[in-house]
Amino acid sequence: MPLSKIAELEALQRQDQELMLSRMESQKRSAAVAAAEAQYKSAFSGLSITGAVSQELSKKNLGGLSDPEAARKRREQDQAAVERVMKSIAKAKPVSVLAARSAERKAQANSWMKELYPQEEEAEEEEEEEDQEDPDLELGPEMTSEERTEMRCKVELAKDVFTWTFVSMDAIDNAHKVLPGMIYGLEFPWNEEMLIQYGPKWLTKAFHAAGTLDPKNRVIKIIPEQTIKVTGGNNAGKFLFEVKYAKQTKDLDTQLFAKVPYELTKETKGDRISSSVYKQPSDLCEINTYRLLEATFPVKMPKYYYGDINNESTNFILITARIPFAELRDKKNEIKPFEVEGPYDKCKDWQLRGDPVDYYMCIVRASAKIGGWHRGGRLAPEHIIDGSLLRTRAPIEYPAAWGFNPHGATGDPPANAKRNLQAAIKFFSQTAKVIFPPYATDDDFVQKFMDTMMTWNAYSAEIEYWKHCDPKYVAVGHMNLNSDNAYFWRDEDGKLDCGVFDWGGFGKSSLGHKVWWCFNCADFDHFHDNLDAYIDAFIETYAAEGGFELDKEVVRKQILLTSLGNTMFMVKAVPNCFKMVSQKDFATIKDRHDPRIADNIFGKSTLRTTLHVLNNGLRVIEELKGDKVLQEWIQEVFQGQFQQTPKTDAMINGT
């Protein structure tokens, strides 16, 4: 595609955005677009969660919750309202810049796209030469990797938004079906064996469809990685492979990485259900992050080559450049400037080649920079972000749709929560006590833990609502930017920098929530000792990169309250630990470094993560006074700003 046409496309997109804004200002707009607009603008209409605005907030958003029956009706009304907004969005499609185009202009944009995305016949013409290199092959204008990425992203941003339809558990029954992807329309492989079977011809079509390979070039060979098997994480399968092209150009990587769903085996079926059903549409959001935002992202990420997903089966594949980890095969005594360290594992900060504080400062600043660029309008138009990435649960005008209920527990039913907590207490105070702090066996701490977690369970929905009330504290970001989801290098002066990958679930949420999820798998000691410095670095970077000035105490409170929710999630995961290590074997484990719990079990880090995050949660309660932070929130926010009566012991404990 000529660069002049790219400039025309940019101008066209700007015109579309201006047209959309003018339509939003018009009193003659349709009811459907007005309803959809309300969903998008709601992020900016919230009242500050700091300052003297509590009565106005209570009056505006929390009215009609005065008694249990009124609260029940309000929840029904709010949920119905949110559903109407969602249906309006799907029907009106204001999230697409193409929705405001005339048929003529849309056809023009589509013709440009076809220049970047050639028809299948073009690849089929070369089938006879599929296994031959052709260094004299005449291609289009020579481009750097950055230039091709910029062109590709501009065309992707001009497409309609691909809307995910939420699926039930039954979708897993369709996981064996070969179905086309919702983005590029090609049937695709979803494991290593299938990719080899589909072969170079399919990969050529895929790369052409994604705009990552010159229309006249082709893949001629796929070479699977035989010695290195990628394990770790707990959301997807991964593998490495190499490709050869008919003509190698400077913009093409040959060492590639693929991310696919877990197989439905006994050991990984639960993880597949978690990622494909409970966390949906996390996988689509990851593909969209690479597909749409790679060119404008403020931190480095692996180059995107292809990604697609099927809504019916939840199968997907994502192909990117392989991160050139210097120690992927063997450990090195010395890493040269700009060589990528690692890879590092989750929950193993002792592996880092320097002070962990330096690494986590790098991570925190990267997370803040992404949020700042979003709030500064430098990533993509807001309607594209809202339509393509994870959104917040509901507009803040509908608190009951968040589960807000002053008359009962808004987490699990209290009896269920208590039963889960009792099992976890037995686990950390008896079965696996050597892994946890010595005070975890004390009766006083056990009671504190039970009381804190039952109280958090009672207020869980209200806490989530509060964390998202003020749009200054909400931005896009990585779902869990742990040290294993970043890659690090140093320059000639030894200054550390990082890139980021594994973008599943990328989207809008509370900033304090995201900060905790940078540290939930970190070693607790440096988190505890440097928490103020980490928060200062986040606030400073977020504001400098286009975000807002944030209140440090609000961010701190969000971080620690989020840790309690993360702890409850780990509490529920305790029974799953016994699928990987029996109760009898836990009695013989001496410390956290025992390979039976420190290594990846069944090719995933689920067990190590559960133990580590649960341990950090206990330490937040005891050593960072998480119990007191929760009580302060009840008094200052629930009772003070929200003007609600604190929940009774009967509501909290279900008695």
Domain spans of the chain, in order of start: 3-101, 104-321, 349-653
pLDDT of residue 93: 38
DSSP class of residue 602 equals T
For the chain, counts of helices (H) and of strands (E): 22, 9
Name the pLDDT band for 492 (thresholds 50, 70, 90).
very high
**pLDDT tens profile 331-363:** 888 899 999 999 999 999 999 999 999 999 999
pLDDT of residue 218: 95
Name the pLDDT band for 487 (thresholds 50, 70, 90).
very high
For 215-262, the DSSP string reads TT--EEEEEE-SS------SS-EEEEEEEEESS--TT--SEEEEEEPP
pLDDT of residue 267: 79
Rounded to whole angstroms, how far apart are CA atoms 76 and 241?
Answer: 51
Mean pLDDT of 472-480: 96
Name the pLDDT band for 262 (thresholds 50, 70, 90).
confident
Instruction: Say how many Å lie between the first and final Cα of the chain, rounded.
Output: 68
Are 286 and 277 contacting, i.e. CB atoms less than 8 angstroms apart?
Answer: no
Nearest residue to 394 via CA among 78, 52, 64: 78
Angle at 17 (CA atoms; ends 15, 20), nearest 5 degrees:
110
Name the pLDDT band for 3 (thresholds 50, 70, 90).
very low
Is 50 exceeded by the pLDDT of residue 178? Answer: yes
Q: Which residues pair with 390 in a beta bridge?
A: 507
pLDDT of residue 76: 72
- Give the C-alpha distances (Å, rounded to integers) separating 47 from 61, 214, 377, 405, 640: 10, 50, 21, 20, 15
Per-residue b/e over 164-202, b at no fewer than 16 CB within 10 Å?
Answer: beebeeebbeebeeeeebbbbebebbbbbeebeebebbb
pLDDT of residue 500: 97
Name the pLDDT band for 42 (thresholds 50, 70, 90).
very low
Q: What percent of the chain has pLDDT over 70?
A: 80
Is 70 exceeded by the pLDDT of residue 560? Answer: yes
pTM of the entire predicted model: 0.84
Is 50 exceeded by the pLDDT of residue 39? Answer: no
Domain 349-653: top CATH class:
alpha beta
Other beta carbons within 10 Å of 350: 9
**237: amino acid identity, one letter:** G
**pLDDT tens profile 182-193:** 999 999 999 999
**Tokens 């290199």, residue?**
133
Average pLDDT taken over every residue of the chain: 85
Cβ neighbourhood burial of 647 (10 Å; 0-12, 13-18, 19+) = buried
Mean pLDDT of 100-106: 43
Write phi, then psi, for 604 (nearest 5 degrees).
Answer: -145, 160
Is 90 exceeded by the pLDDT of residue 12? Answer: no
Is 90 exceeded by the pLDDT of residue 499? Answer: yes
Name the pLDDT band for 11 (thresholds 50, 70, 90).
low
- Give the C-alpha distances (Å, rounded to integers) separating 582 from 339, 587, 589: 41, 9, 11
Distance of CA 401 to the CA centre of its chain: 22
pLDDT of residue 14: 47
pLDDT of residue 105: 41
pLDDT of residue 150: 92
Residue with the bigger pLDDT between 415 and 7: it is 415
pLDDT of residue 115: 55
For 605-636, the DSSP string reads -HHHHHHHHHHHHHHHHHHS-HHHHHHHHIII
Q: What percent of the chain has pLDDT over 90?
A: 67
Mean pLDDT of 12-23: 45
Name the pLDDT band for 232 (thresholds 50, 70, 90).
low
**pLDDT tens profile 584-597:** 999 999 999 999 99
Range of lowest pLDDT (36-45, 129-138, 609-618, 630-639): 36-45
Mean pLDDT of 469-493: 95
pLDDT of residue 30: 39
Name the pLDDT band for 255 (thresholds 50, 70, 90).
very high
pLDDT of residue 73: 73
